[in-house]
Structure 1
Amino acid sequence: MSAKNKLKTGAQELGLDLSKEQLDILLEYMDILREWNQKINLTAIDDPEEIVVKHFLDSLSLLQTLDLSGEERVIDIGTGAGFPGLVLKIIYPNLRLTLLDSVKKKVNFLRQAAYQLDLDLDTIEFLHGRAEDLGRNRQHREQYDYAIARAVAYLNILSEYALPFVKEGGQFIAQKGENAKKEVVDSQVALEKLGGETINLAPVDLPYNDDDRYLIVIEKIMATTSQYPRRAGTPKKKPL
């Protein structure tokens, strides 16, 4: 099966009927990614079919719990090569998306890829920096409907990165693997301190992949107190 057919049928299994235009943009995104990946380390996955499953379909699986009308404000923390944020932007062109990563080369790639894909650059913000620093910035603190993250850190650490960005009533959704249930249990103290509450642990049946995948949905039930996030590096060294 070609990468294109795998993308189309895999998306259908996730409940999404991708248009020809969306498929073409995603495949062009893959070409740009693979070209840049020869120069800088963006992803260890380079095979087109693997990119489709482990990057594109995995990103699209977020839509099983992420309830988008299309114009929400979303921040993708530790976005790397743009997963899942840039994939969601291709599906929802009006999404107000912020892509945050601490590696400048990756942010430069994202800016160039978005330009080449002819996405609406007025509705995408490219941020190079640390979540702990930007989570204290008034332009970003508690300004987002959703924070999303994939494979960045253990949930108690990741929650300190993410929840300060989320407005009350908004959600933080973390994409996790087989240890998701344990991470939820281990992170209850951290969530309580940060103003979050786990409302769903949703298993994901990722097409063409047998790995255990979960979406952890955390609702922001109260404002994060001013002491969080702590200084850059502290959440990882001294997790809540």
Structure 2
Amino acid sequence: MDDIQKAFVERLQAHHISINEQQLHQFENYYKALVEWNEKMNLTGITEREQVYTKHFYDSISLAFFVDMMSVGKLADIGSGAGFPGIPLKICFPHIKLTIIDSLNKRITFLKHVVDTLGLDSVELMHGRAEEVARKHGYRDGFDLVTARAVARMAVLNEFCLPFTKVGGQFAAMKGSDPAEEVKEASRSLKEFRGKLNKIHSFSLPVEESDRHIVVIDKTGPTPSKYPRKAGTAAKTPIM
């Protein structure tokens, strides 16, 4: 274990999350795959090893600081890109059944490579638009926890993510800067999609002290059948 890995492990332990040698090995292999594939396709602008461990891995796992991952059976990661936050959470909490949905097939191909290389099971990788997948049986109102990291503004995310969230489950939006204004403008869409604001959690990333916020929404009832609207509509004309 080198200094970067040691700092990573200690920072997680400070939040009562312990990882073993195998899990640490999975994170290192994930990092290597990310850098290797990033030379062929645009996965991330962050490739320096210490920054990947902090800004991608630790940042992804930070969701578990505020949501009890041990009570989560099924997790959906919407617009996951290079697998954040879904894959780091799956490494730390192997019991989770993870579904990743992304609209770019190249990214799904990369994620299949990662899942195979890391030996992860109970991971479903789906190429498609969130608005279309959310209408399929088994996905709609089907997940204990749904998350999206830096994908869109809250009014749009509510329509992307709440249809996947089961009644009694939660949707957690992972944000950088203070989302208070976004949350305020999304109040109508929250009601429309049967969501209720639980809490906005704030913290800072280690070392660089950059702000992070996690908006936790409770799902209070089934999504009305007319939602989500057809692909592209939420982004163009969000409900506000």
State how far apart, in whole Å, the 1-side matches of 2:13 and 2:69 are.
Answer: 18
Q: Residues 24-63 of structure 1: matches in 2 within 5 Å? A: 24-63=25-64
SS state at 1:207 partner: coil
Letter in 2 for 1:111: K
SS state at 2:32 partner: helix
Residues 78-111 of structure 1: per-residue CA shift (max 9 Å, x gap) = 0111100011111111211001111100001001
Aligned to 1:108: 109
1:70 positional shift: 6.2
Q: Residues 99-138 of structure 1: matches in 2 within 5 Å? A: 99-120=100-121, 123-138=122-137
Structure 2 residue ranges without an equivalent (≥5): none
Aligned to 2:222: 223
State how far apart, in whole Å, the 2-side matches of 1:3 and 1:101 are.
Answer: 30
Aligned to 2:157: 158
TM, length-normalised to structure 1: 0.95
Structure 1 stretches (4+) deviating beyond 4 angstroms?
none
State how far apart, in whole Å, the 2-side matches of 1:3 and 1:85 are.
Answer: 22
1:5 positional shift: 2.4
Aligned to 1:172: 171
Aligned to 1:75: 76
Residues 106-147 of structure 1: per-residue CA shift (max 9 Å, x gap) = 001001111011111xx1111000000011111210111110
State how far apart, in whole Å, the 2-side matches of 1:126 and 1:105 are.
Answer: 12
Aligned to 1:5: 6
Aligned to 1:15: 16
1:173 positional shift: 0.3
Letter in 2 for 1:220: K
Letter in 2 for 1:229: P
SS state at 1:232 partner: coil
Worse-superposed segment, 9-18 or 31-40: 9-18
> Are the counterparts in 2 of residues 75 and 99 from structure 1 also a CA contact under 8 Å?
yes
Letter in 2 for 1:106: R
State how far apart, in whole Å, the 1-side matches of 2:111 and 2:204 are.
Answer: 28
> Are the counterparts in 2 of residues 70 and 93 from structure 1 also a CA contact under 8 Å?
no
1:204 positional shift: 2.0
Instruction: Give the percent of matched residue pairs that are identical in Structure 1 and Structure 2.
Output: 39
State how far apart, in whole Å, the 1-side matches of 2:163 and 2:68 are.
Answer: 20
Letter in 2 for 1:22: Q
Letter in 1 for 2:34: L
SS state at 1:69 partner: helix
State how far apart, in whole Å, the 2-side matches of 1:87 and 1:132 are.
Answer: 25
Residues 189-231 of structure 1: per-residue CA shift (max 9 Å, x gap) = 1100000000111112322231111110000001110111000
> Are the counterparts in 2 of residues 61 and 204 from structure 1 also a CA contact under 8 Å?
no
State how far apart, in whole Å, the 2-side matches of 1:4 and 1:67 are.
Answer: 24
Residues 31-55 of structure 1: per-residue CA shift (max 9 Å, x gap) = 1111111111111111001101110
SS state at 2:70 partner: coil
Letter in 2 for 1:10: R
Q: Residues 193-208 of structure 1: matches in 2 within 5 Å? A: 193-208=192-207
1:67 positional shift: 1.1
> Are the counterparts in 2 of residues 6 and 52 from structure 1 also a CA contact under 8 Å?
no
State how far apart, in whole Å, the 1-side matches of 2:220 and 2:188 are.
Answer: 14
> Are the counterparts in 2 of residues 168 and 221 from structure 1 also a CA contact under 8 Å?
yes
Letter in 2 for 1:104: N
